A and B are shown apart, each in its own frame.
Chain A
Amino acid sequence: GAGVSQTPSNKVTEKGKYVELRCDPISGHTALYWYRQSLGQGPEFLIYFQGTGAADDSGLPNDRFFAVRPEGSVSTLKIQRTERGDSAVYLCASSLMWGPNTGELFFGEGSRLTVL
Chain B
Amino acid sequence: AQKVTQAQTEISVVEKEDVTLDCVYETRDTTYYLFWYKQPPSGELVFLIRRNSFDEQNEISGRYSWNFQKSTSSFNFTITASQVVDSAVYFCALGRDGSSNTGKLIFGQGTTLQVKP
Contacts and interface: CB of A to CB of B under 8 A. Distances in A.
A99 B105 contact: no
A21 to B, nearest CB: 14
Contacts of B35: 100, 104
B109 A42 contact: yes
Contacts of A44: 107
Contact of B91 (A42, A55, A59): A42
Interface size class of B (residues with CB under 8 A): 20 to 34
A43 B101 contact: no
B47 A105 contact: yes
Contacts of A41: 109-110
Interface string B39-56: 000111111001010000
Interface of B: 4, 33, 35, 37, 42-47, 50, 52, 91, 93, 95-97, 100-110
Closest 9 CB pairs of A and B: A42-B107, A104-B47, A100-B95, A99-B101, A107-B45, A109-B43, A100-B33, A109-B44, A45-B104
